[in-house]
Structure 1
Amino acid sequence: MATASTLPTDTAAAAAARTADPANDSHHIFTVAARSLRDCVELLLSLKAAMSAEEREEQQQQRQQQQHHETTEGHTNGSTPGLSNGHSQTSPTNPAGKSMRDIHHMSRSASQEAEVGSDASSQQPQPTADRAPLALPQAITPCRRSEMYTKPSVLACQGTIGKHVRHLHDHYRLLLSTYPPNKDSSVNDEWILDYDRRSREVPMETDIDHAIQELERLQFILEKYQTPSDPSVPSQTKDVSVPSDLLQPVTLQATIDPRHPPVSFQTTFGRELWFCSLHAVHHFAMIKVICGEFGMPLTEDFGLAPSTVKSRLPNQ
């Protein structure tokens, strides 16, 4: 596999032109990759905010129920107007002193009013594509916000948000951790990458705070390439090397058939970094399905590939 120093003159010139033109700068992939991780962090932060709002609402409801219970007990234990010698002035079968014929008439009138109300509501204009309802969509699978991160989805093959987050994170982690200098090897040693050696049943699948921490760590690692002297970069990322050459050769080992051994492909760091970014978008789309199932809709562009978003822009 050719490196940047061994490229033909015309290709090297084209690479230089791409570097000079920000619109065609392939190194923008570092920004895109870091941004995809940041998008995932922001999603999880939104979910945490929804959890907190749910908890506050439940606490408020509990206080209201407690107040109602205390008020009801006060009325029950206290004196009630209209009672004499422990007997009510009206018969329990004859409320408010009305005759049974009056009660039957009231019940029939209420029934007729309900039918009229039902007919009127059926004549109301129904929501259309141009007039969407204001209420949030009804959850297909009822789920408390505090359970959303780990609750299996009915629509998405029993997957969970946590498992999708762990999976997309694993691809970035494996790509960077297998870079030879990060394995105490020489930069000239063969870079072997196998995405199938990912982790499962790890804390970030169930612990949303741990997931946010790990995603931000990788985000800062990728941003470090463009701002190596940025003091905001956490210290734990300073020992992680990131190749600046997007054409750095990589040998990819992949299981393409479960009945056969893995096969090898020759690729580059830049190509695999782009794959990790696009792979993350795919899992964002699955997470979007799960969130919608649980009644928490996400923005329209979340989970859309860049080419799809571009095709929807004006004059495209």
Structure 2
Amino acid sequence: MSLKSASTDILMQLANVIGQLTDQDYARPLPVLSGNTIGKHVRHILEFYELLVDSAQTAQRGIALLNYDRRQRDLRLEVDTDEALRRIGTLDRAIHHLDLNHPLHLEADLSAAGVPGAETIQIPSTFARELLYNIEHAIHHMALIQVAVRSDFTTLVLPAHFGVAYSTVQHQSH
């Protein structure tokens, strides 16, 4: 499986679950998620993907810059399942147009004191490495969503291996 097809697989699993939820259930604070919602986890996943895709536009002027701390935190993604599904489709199409070999600089702010830019670092990466990170990041949050679904939405049907890392699936199949 290629990185792009693995990303499609993960995004389609997520879309499958979102498509089974009402907006009310999607945005409902859940004790098992410490009062957070499935929608907040989905927003978080999609905004990381969007930052990666958007950074490709800066790549046309040289090396792309990617900073996951600069999320927009679009609250529509937390409460509107149709918007989340629309954005998943847009992201999936955009990912298939990425040049995964193109280099980029990953920027992060390591300041614990909350002074933006005080301890900003840049490290070299590629779109392939960051797409892999986004897949693994999504799986991690999907594992939390899986816990919420099994606890509060027992009639929902989860895709096989939803929220389970590929390495874990391989290990469990032996």
TM-score, normalising length from structure 2? Answer: 0.87
Matched ranges for 1:88-127 at <5 A: none
Gap regions ≥5 residues in structure 2: none
Distance 2:94 2:64 in 1: 19
Matched ranges for 1:143-154 at <5 A: 147-154=24-31
Q: Match for residue 160 of structure 1? A: 37
Distance 2:74 2:127 in 1: 28
1:275 paired to 2:133: yes
Once superposed, which parts of structure 1, at least 4 consecutive aligned residues long, lie more than 6 Å away? none
Q: Deviations over 1:175-223 (max 9, x none)?
A: 11011xx25xx63512110001112242121111111111111112224
Cα 1:286–1:269 change in 2 (3 A) is same
Q: Match for residue 307 of structure 1? A: 167
Q: Deviations over 1:134-179 (max 9, x none)?
A: xxxxxxxxxxxx5321111212222211111111011111011011
Q: Match for residue 171 of structure 1? A: 48
Q: CA deviation at 1:299?
A: 5.1
Distance 2:30 2:120 in 1: 31
Gap regions ≥5 residues in structure 1: 1-22, 49-145, 226-241
Q: Match for residue 82 of structure 1? A: none
Distance 1:163 1:214 in 2: 14
Distance 1:269 1:165 in 2: 21
Q: Match for residue 31 of structure 1? A: 5
RMSD (CA atoms): 2.0
Partner letter of residue 256 of structure 1? L
Q: Deviations over 1:249-304 (max 9, x none)?
A: 11111133422522221111110010001100001011111222214263562111
Largest Rg, 1 or 2: 1
Distance 1:300 1:263 in 2: 39
Cα 1:201–1:30 change in 2 (3 A) is closer
Q: Deviations over 1:104-142 (max 9, x none)?
A: xxxxxxxxxxxxxxxxxxxxxxxxxxxxxxxxxxxxxxx
SS in 2 for 1:266: strand
SS in 2 for 1:301: coil
Cα 1:299–1:220 change in 2 (3 A) is closer
Matched ranges for 1:2-81 at <5 A: 28-48=2-22
Contact 1:31 1:222 in 2 (8 A): no
TM-score, normalising length from structure 1? Answer: 0.50
Partner letter of residue 167 of structure 1? H
Contact 1:35 1:219 in 2 (8 A): no
Distance 1:201 1:220 in 2: 20
Higher strand proportion (structure 1 or 2): 2
Partner letter of residue 216 of structure 1? G
Partner letter of residue 283 of structure 1? H
Q: CA deviation at 1:248?
A: 1.6
Q: CA deviation at 1:306?
A: 0.3
Say which of 239, 251, 260 aligns to 2:105.
251
Q: Match for residue 206 of structure 1? A: 79
Distance 2:119 2:17 in 1: 37
Q: Deviations over 1:92-115 (max 9, x none)?
A: xxxxxxxxxxxxxxxxxxxxxxxx
